[in-house]
Structures are given as structure tokens and as C-alpha cells.
Amino acid sequence: MCLSTTRTCNPRTRVTSAGPFKVKLFLGANQSKIPVAFVAALHRLDAEYLLLESAGSNALDFHIAYYIGVLSVQEPSARFHIISKDTGFDPLIKHLRLRGVLAQRLSSISAIPSAKQPADGLADAEQISLAVAHLGKLKAAKPRTEKALRGTLRALFKKELSEDQISALFAGLCQRGVVKVNGTKVTYEVSGP
């Protein structure tokens, strides 16, 4: 099983051949073989291999959950991609998302969305930065309801974002504490330009 995190790209940060991704490959204690093609693909991504010290029921799953917890504290803006066909991760992902951690399960590495193209509930860091800057310029004219804020975000991005992407952007603003929701009303923790 594989866990990938997407970092927020900082222009001063050197990005490896993995691009904005960090990949951790979890190997069971009794796993003795890995397909060559799989290893070659991971080698290009500069993957970190984590060998479990002992076997047990759901041991890999618990390790992945632990690492997501640790990494989500270290890198609050990271996105987590669990590469697995095991739908048993879905309740964990739902739990993480409800707590503002951007996570998804994908069945293959090739399904990981580009860092520049948000997908499946994950907002792009650049879009969040643009939204924060725009909201700061609005001063007292900021939208007062979630519905109005979503309309403002649609207009800001010239209706080029899908409803899923608007929802991801809204969730990203909430996760960062820029937007606070109380019922249908919203308040902001953003300053002017």
C-alpha cells in the first residue's frame, strides 16, 4: 500500500523528480516480493519504503492512519492520497475530511491528480491564495452567507471551477481558518490588502 502527500509548492523549495509529492510505500512484515515495474515507477518518485516490523490484522492500515495523523500536523496544507483498492479506508477518509484534512483513496498512482488541477474534493493552494487575497480586498463587503461566498468564488474564477472544486475551495478556506461557519452565516479571519 502506498501513501502520497502533496506539498504546497514554495518557489524557493527544490522539487524532486516526484514533483510536489512525497511517497511512502508500506510493506508488510511478510512481504518478500515487489513487482519490478512497480519498483521502477516508485524509484522515479523517490519513494520512502517503510517495512513493518511485525504482521497483524490491518497492521498496514493502522500504520497509514498513524502517518497521516503525524504528517497532517507537520504539514497542515498537505493533501493525502491513499493508493489502495481497499474500501476499508473510506471511513477514515471521511473522518479526516470532516476534520479539515484533505484526503482521498485512489486505486492507482496514475490516478493522483496533478498539483495544478484540483480533483475529488481537493483544492489547489494557488486558488486558496487567490481567494484569500480577493476576500481581503472586499473589506466590509465580504459575503455573509455560505451561498453568497460560493457565488463570489464562482465569479472570482470566472465560472471555470466545477461545483466540486468550489466545495473543495470552500473547505480549504475553512480548514485554514480563513472562513468560519456558524449555521449558514460565515465570518472571516482575513485582513485587507
- Amino acid 42 reads L
38 & 106 share domain: yes
Model pTM above 0.75: no
User: What is the tens place of the pLDDT at every residue in 121-180?
Assistant: 445 677 887 888 889 888 889 999 999 999 999 888 777 778 888 888 898 899 888 999
* Nearest residue to 68 via CA among 53, 43, 86, 89: 89
Asked if residue 135 belongs to a domain, the reply is: yes
Residue 3 clears pLDDT 90, i.e. is over it: no
Q: How confident is the model at residue 16, as a pLDDT?
A: 38
Domains identified in the chain, total number: 2
Q: Determine the 3-state secondary structure of 5 from DSSP.
A: strand
Q: Nearest 5 degrees, angle CA 20-CA 71-CA 109?
A: 45
Domain range for 80: 2-111
- The residues near 107 (Cβ < 8 Å, ≥ 6 apart) are 83, 84, 85
The radius of gyration of the chain's CA atoms, rounded to the nearest angstrom, is 19
Domain co-membership, 16 together with 87? yes
- What's the CA gap between 128 and 9, in Å, rounded? 13
Kindly state whether residues 37 and 106 are assigned to the same domain: yes
pLDDT classification of 2: cutoffs 50, 70, 90: low
pLDDT in tens, 45-92: 677 888 888 888 888 888 889 989 998 888 887 888 888 888 999 999
CA gap 158, 161 in Å, rounded: 8
| pLDDT computed for residue 18 by the predictor | 45
Residue 36: per-residue pLDDT: 80
